[in-house]
């Protein structure tokens, strides 16, 4: 199964240094952009992101980024 586009723009998320976040790679999660376990009906797996500082990161919403799990602007080409 190919990943489903959740939305054609990134999700800004405030992250805390040292904390891990699990980005939804399948596009089915109801808690976008983070995993809620819906990938279990696909061959996709969540991607762990560990924050190195307290900041805002932009998780990919289109699920087509080359810089998993962060947005690289690919949604602008879809």
Is residue 63, in this structure, part of any structural domain at all? yes
Give which of 49, 46, 50 is closest to 26, Cα–Cα. 46
Is residue 59, in this structure, part of any structural domain at all? yes
Is residue 3, in this structure, part of any structural domain at all? no
Task: Indicate the range of 23-27, 37-41, 47-51, 54-58 predicted with least confidence.
Answer: 37-41
Query: Of all residues in the chain, what percent carry a pLDDT higher than 70?
Result: 99
Please check the confidence at residue 71 and state whether its pLDDT lies above 90. Answer: yes
Give which of 55, 78, 29 is closest to 70, Cα–Cα. 55
Q: What is the mean pLDDT of residues 11-28?
A: 98
Is residue 70, in this structure, part of any structural domain at all? yes
Q: How many residues would you count in the chain?
A: 78
Say what the pTM is.
0.93
Q: What is the mean pLDDT of residues 64-71?
A: 97
Question: How many distinct structural domains can be found in the chain?
Answer: 1
Torsion on CA atoms 31, 11, 4, 69, rounded to nearest 10: -100
Is residue 60, in this structure, part of any structural domain at all? yes
Range of the domain at 36: 11-77
Torsion on CA atoms 58, 64, 68, 72, rounded to nearest 10: -50
């Amino acid at each position: 199964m190919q990943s489903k586009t959740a939305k054609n723009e990134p999700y800004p998320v405030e992250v805390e240094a040292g904390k891990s976040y699990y980005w939804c790679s399948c596009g089915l999660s109801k808690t976008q952009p983070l995993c809620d376990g819906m990938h279990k009906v696909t061959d996709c797996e969540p991607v762990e992101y560990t924050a190195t500082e307290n900041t805002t990161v932009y998780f990919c919403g289109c699920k087509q980024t080359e810089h998993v799990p962060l947005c690289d602007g690919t949604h602008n080409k879809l």
